[in-house]
Amino acid sequence: MTCDMTSSSTTPSWTLDEVMGLFSLPFGNLMDRARQVHLKHFDPNAIQVSTLLNIKTGACPENCSYCPQSAHFDTGLENKPLMDEEAVFQAAIKAKSIGSTRFCMGAAWRGPRDEDLEKVAHMVTRIKALGMETCVTLGLLKQHQAARLKEAGLDYYNHNIDTSESFYEEIISTRTFSDRVRTLEYVEEAGINTCCGGIIGMGEMPANRAQMLHFLASKKLPPKSVPINMLIRVPGTPLADQPPVDPFDFIRTVAVARILLPTSHVRLSAGRSEMSDEMQAWCFYAGANSIHYGEKLLVTSNAAPEEDRALMSRLGIYPEKRDESCFVEEAS
């Protein structure tokens, strides 16, 4: 797979009505269509494996209704400061030893202070030297901060839009949808790949899911990595009592993401610990080809590594190898 972040998208242009039409297809027809797109662009049995480490926990000033790390909600979470660089580095070594090719670091900030970003930049450079792809999610960025992360060698910046612009204010009021988009623009201008997706099950309508994916597919530089998260209903958060997502609705969303974003990795992300093996298998068939590996996903539970290994073995799928052409020189 190419790592070129400057080439124009080969994704066909879609209207919102056409995206809604995809969601309305009979389930089997949608699966067949998504599978054909996936077969054209990827090894259908290879899964990109990432590890996500929370490097700063809790006390976030944002009021994202789904997030246990928000200072606005009492979820019983213990706040922790930014981790020591050496501890993060050792975690990356462990992640590589169990097969992860990308190491992702998340910090519960509205946006990093320059002094904190500099510490993260040093972590990025050290982890790059291990031969791993690097990804961080630090909240809203300033333009010069994105440039500094690029200088450090960062491969991906995760900044989910969460949902459609029309539903966004129902979930978050401390920042706007345009704030999110501005950070994505800074990241793209710096030459860093974007990792951007959303969450299913927050009370949104099917049209909101279509609008979210249509926005991502319509970007001049669509995200290279697209996490499709299932809401984790954390006690103490405003969305704790949302009804469970219908499995077929979730699988449909994965399939439509694959069709609209044919060359992107579609990540089966949060919520896998609540998915049956059969549901995950359908998601992989529909085009999901990336997972987070490890027992924690930031501060919530994730599928246990031994469970992932057993499922992958049963399905005949295997970890995708790192593309050596993606290596960049260590920043000075």
CA separation for the pair 289, 320 (Å, rounded):
9
What CA–CA distance (Å, rounded) separates 249 from 262?
A: 20
Which residue type is seen at 108? Answer: A
Task: Supply 60's token pair.
Answer: 């976030």
Residue of 64, 148, 175, 209 with catalytic role:
64
For residue 7, the model assigns a pLDDT of 37
Looking up residue 25, the CATH number of its domain turns out to be 3.20.20.70
Nearest to 302 by CA among 215, 229, 250: 229
Q: How far is Cα 90 from Cα 107, in angstroms, rounded to an integer?
A: 17
| Active-site pick, 104, 175, 209, 252 | 104
pLDDT of the residue at 295: 52
pLDDT digits (tens, 9 = 90+) for 286-300: 999 998 876 544 455
Domain presence at residue 264: yes
Q: Which of 135, 148, 175, 258 is catalytic?
A: 135
Within a domain: 174: yes
Residue 3 is a catalytic residue: no
Quote the domain boundaries for residue 205: 16-320
Q: What is the pLDDT of residue 332?
A: 28
Handedness of CA 157, 162, 106, 115 (dihedral sign): positive
- Per-residue pLDDT tens digits for 8-26: 345 568 999 999 999 999 9
Judge whether 64 counts as a catalytic residue. yes
Among residues 33, 148, 180, 195, the one annotated as catalytic is: 195
Cα(30)–Cα(253) distance, integer angstroms:
10
- Is 8 part of a structural domain of the chain? no
Residue 104 known to be catalytic: yes
Tokens 């031994």 sit at which residue? 306
Token pair listed for 221: 């530089």
In the chain (332 residues long), the average pLDDT of successive 10-residue segments reads 40 87 97 96 92 85 87 79 90 86 89 92 92 92 95 94 94 93 95 95 95 95 94 91 94 97 93 90 95 61 73 89 45 30
Phi then psi dihedrals of residue 118, to 5 deg: -65, -40
Angle value at C-alpha 61, between 56 and 64, nearest 5 degrees: 95
Q: How many domains does the chain have?
A: 1
Q: Do the domain assignments include residue 293?
A: yes
Catalytic site residue 195?
yes
- Kindly state whether residue 178 falls inside one of the protein's structural domains: yes
Residue 329 included in any domain: no
At residue 303, the pLDDT reads 65
Helix/strand/coil for 145: helix
Q: Is 196 a catalytic residue?
A: no
Q: Which of 102, 267, 272, 283 is catalytic?
A: 267
For tokens 């990336």, name the residue: 290
| Within a domain: 91 | yes
